[in-house]
Structure 1
Amino acid sequence: MINDVLQRNNVNISGKGKQTMMFAHGFGCDQNMWKEVAREFENDYQVVLFDFVGAGKSDIKAYDSLKYNSLLGYAQDVIEICEALQVEDVIFVGHSVGSMIGILASIKEPKRFSRMVLVGPSPCYLDDEPYKGGFTREDLLGILEMMDKNYIGWAHFFAPIVMENNEQPHLTNRLEESFCTTDPIVARQFAEVTFFSDHRKSLVEVSVPSLILHCKEDKIAPLDVAHYMCDNLYKTKLQVIDGAGHCPHLSHPKETTAFIQQYLATAQEN
């Protein structure tokens, strides 16, 4: 059972520390997106990287459209990875929807987690006045329709919007390649689950302290969303990165790493 879980999610472990840091990727990505940041913590922590089912080198045969028709299915996998590794007091670092999956896992089993770092998180991408999620329903339906009609064309269109760093075209290419290597059927369902989920009411159930890292300019999750989360989460701190894009761990890895290190150092002092 333990090996099944670790193989299912392509779990990779490195580092010298006793406390575990678990890094969760976002939609259309895999664990490789975290490597530049994650390796900076290997001297002090046990670093755990993994792929959500359907992404990267996870076991595609384990994909269940019913289970993964909700972010709760992915959250259960996070808990099962922790159980398989027999770890508690985990520092969970998640990007985008990976952040929300971590939040849901922490609600279900709060004792598994000591801190969370949420990079570009959003509990709801849909505008719902006065809440500004960043997209209208028509916007999101248009994204899904484009994925249905021309998946490769969608990847070429969507990657630069997500990355938003034209001066670093290699990053946009890297993200586009990641989109294109994800199974289109899985990506389509994960996109719908991600963009149409609404977990705003879940925020008040969180009992694990957190850091929110958010770029000043983000077309996927506006800064207003970060402020909303900061207002509704337990013991959270917002750190705004002076830059653009939805993937600061790729576009601003040094700043991302430094802010995480500062947060964890302060947490230890307290």
Structure 2
Amino acid sequence: MNKLDPLERNNVTLAGNPQARRAMVFVHGFGTDQRAWSTVAESFGEDFSLVLLDNVGAGQSEPAAFQQSRYLNLGGYVSDLFEVCDALLLQDAILVGHSVGAMICLLAAARRPGRFSRLVMIGASPRYLDDEGYRGGFAEADLKALYQEVSLRYSEWADAFAPAAMGNADKPQLARHFAETMKSIPADRALTVLCSIFQSDHRADVSTLDIPTLVIQSQDDPAVPLEVAEYLHQHIKGSRLALINATGHLPHVSAPYEVVAAMSEFIDGQAPSPKPMSTGLSGRRSN
């Protein structure tokens, strides 16, 4: 069992308003780290205390914490999230997750009913593989080819995958940064994480969720078809689906104010004015 301090292990950053009654916890997806939330998180900094973390194996998380046996599925990440929230004595926090981070949040909320107050899921998928009566967006052959590319040519794969996933060809700097964060992850570790994502099937967990949930989906997501977002909306009791004016799999990076507007309407019933924010998060690291 991992004995590391969870705040150090996950490189937790505390920001926003420390006196706020409400907390918001951000969990990133594959190939990014907590920096991907910069603009979105800071937009809520006046009204919320903010908790940002790096999933083990990503960003500035503790390298020694990555044990392959713990992270062969999403359970290890869910346990990590619980430990971070327990260490900070969080109750009724709003969980915000992107891609696999959104599924980590969903599993956490489903397994501890009453612990969290709301859930925001961006570009989430409970299953990536196509199945009878279900379109996940990938065939078995697609995933085999992906694993082979990652195993043999990880750097080249990352350079090709980043612009495809990010979209927004008019903003090439976003794809370049995404490629660099992916390539900062060792290839063998990235393969483990990708397998834990693409081999998962959490459709049974989706229907057990009983928490106000917002599903945010961009107009054209190459990793998650609209049908998946509709599936989540249909199977999560009382959920909302927001199809925002954005493209690509990382709208919180490429169109952060669209994400902020959808979140604000969901949380408080009104959308804020899209005014510019600074690019860095003010606050302190846990360590």
Bin the TM-score by the shorter chain: over 0.9
Aligned equivalent of 2:158, options 126, 130, 155? 155
Which of the pair has the greater relative contact order for Cα pairs under 8 Å at 6+ separation? Answer: 2
**Hey, what does 1:55 align to over in structure 2?**
58
Identity of aligned pairs, percent?
39
What is the 5 A alignment of 1:1-80? 4-16=5-17, 17-80=20-83
The range that moved more, 202-211 or 113-122, is 202-211
The DSSP-based 3-state class of the residue aligned with 1:110 is: coil
How many equivalent residue pairs? 267
1:140-165: CA deviations, max 9, x gaps? Answer: 11111100001101101111111011
The DSSP-based 3-state class of the residue aligned with 2:11 is: coil
Find the aligned partners of 2:187 and 2:89 in 1 and give their Cα distance.
34
Find the aligned partners of 2:164 and 2:87 in 1 and give their Cα distance.
37
CA contact (8 A) 2:31 2:58 kept: yes
What is the 5 A alignment of 1:1-270? 4-16=5-17, 17-266=20-269
Find the aligned partners of 1:60 and 1:108 in 2 and give their Cα distance.
27
Task: Tell me the amino acid that sits aligned with residue 136 of structure 2.
Answer: G
Find the aligned partners of 1:165 and 1:141 in 2 and give their Cα distance.
27
The range that moved more, 182-191 or 18-27, is 182-191
* TM-score with structure 2 setting the length: 0.91
Runs of 5+ consecutive residues of structure 2 not aligned to the other structure? 271-287
Task: Tell me the amino acid that sits aligned with residue 48 of structure 1.
Answer: V
Runs of 5+ consecutive residues of structure 1 not aligned to the other structure? none
CA contact (8 A) 1:79 1:109 kept: no
1:64-117: CA deviations, max 9, x gaps? Answer: 111111101101111111100001101000000100000111112122200000
CA contact (8 A) 1:9 1:51 kept: yes
Find the aligned partners of 1:15 and 1:31 in 2 and give their Cα distance.
14
Find the aligned partners of 2:93 and 2:215 in 1 and give their Cα distance.
17
CA contact (8 A) 1:82 1:112 kept: no
CA contact (8 A) 2:33 2:58 kept: yes
1:179-202: CA deviations, max 9, x gaps? Answer: 111122211100011011010111
Give the direction of change, closer, same or farther, for the CA distance of 1:109–1:162 in structure 2 (3 Å limit): same
Task: Tell me the amino acid that sits aligned with residue 148 of structure 1.
Answer: S
1:239-261: CA deviations, max 9, x gaps? Answer: 00123100000111111111111
CA contact (8 A) 1:2 1:84 kept: no
Find the aligned partners of 2:165 and 2:75 in 1 and give their Cα distance.
24
The DSSP-based 3-state class of the residue aligned with 2:86 is: helix
